[in-house]
C-alpha cells in the first residue's frame, strides 16, 4: 500500500471506491454542470462492460449500428455515419461485414443511384434479439442482488434516459 492509500479521505471528498472514474459505487451527488457528461460516461462504460460479459462475434459498435437501423428503418451509409459519429468509409466497411453475415441488406436508393439504402434483415433482427437476450441473462444475477428500492430507481432512470434521449435527439446539434 502506498502512504496515500492508507490515509482516510478528507471529509466531503469521495473515497477512491466512490469516484465515478473507478468501478466502485458513486454515491456522491453530481454537479448539474457535469451530470450530463457523467451520465454519458457511465452509460457507455456500463454498455461496454455488459457486452464484454457475453461471447459474441460482432463488435459492440456493429451491434449499436444494427440497433439504430432496426429502430430508424432504412438509412444510407452517409446517414449511418452521421448517427454513429464516424467516417463514411468506416461505416461502409462495417456495413459490408454485417452484409456478409446476412444481418443487413443494401438496395439502390431510388432517388440517388450513387447511394444505397441499408436495412436490417430478418436474420439481423433475430441476431439482435439474441444479443439482447444474452445481455439480459448476463446481467440478471447482478440485478437480482439489488433491493426493491434500487430496482425502482433503475426503472425510473430508464424512463428518464429514454425521455432525455428523445429530447436531445429532437434538439439536434448545438
> What are 86-125's pLDDT values in tens digits?
899 999 999 999 999 999 999 988 788 888 899 999 999 9
Q: Which residues fall within 8 angstroms of residue 30, CB to CB, at 6 or more apart?
A: 20, 38
Q: Which domains does the chain have, with CATH numbers?
A: 56-148 (1.10.10.10)
Q: What's the pTM?
A: 0.71
> What are 21-64's pLDDT values in tens digits?
444 445 567 788 899 899 999 998 998 888 888 877 778 888 88
Strand order in the sheet with 112-120: 75-76, 112-120, 104-109
Amino acid at each position: 500500500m502506498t502512504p496515500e492509500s492508507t490515509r482516510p479521505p478528507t471529509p466531503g471528498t469521495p473515497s477512491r471506491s466512490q469516484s465515478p472514474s473507478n468501478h466502485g459505487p458513486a454515491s456522491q451527488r453530481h454537479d448539474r454542470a457535469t451530470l450530463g457528461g457523467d451520465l454519458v460516461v457511465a452509460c457507455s462504460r456500463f454498455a461496454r462492460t455488459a457486452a464484454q460479459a457475453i461471447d459474441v462475434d460482432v463488435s459492440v459498435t456493429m451491434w449499436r449500428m444494427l440497433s439504430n437501423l432496426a429502430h430508424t428503418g432504412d438509412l444510407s451509409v452517409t446517414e449511418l455515419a452521421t448517427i454513429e459519429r464516424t467516417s463514411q468509409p468506416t461505416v461502409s466497411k462495417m456495413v459490408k461485414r454485417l452484409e456478409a453475415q446476412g444481418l443487413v441488406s443494401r438496395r439502390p436508393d431510388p432517388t440517388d443511384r450513387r447511394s444505397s439504402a441499408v436495412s436490417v434483415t430478418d436474420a439481423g433482427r433475430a441476431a439482435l434479439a439474441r444479443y439482447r437476450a444474452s445481455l439480459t441473462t448476463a446481467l440478471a444475477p447482478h440485478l437480482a442482488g439489488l433491493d426493491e428500492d434500487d430496482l425502482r430507481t433503475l426503472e425510473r432512470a430508464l424512463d428518464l434516459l429514454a425521455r432525455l434521449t428523445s429530447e436531445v435527439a429532437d434538439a439536434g446539434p448545438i
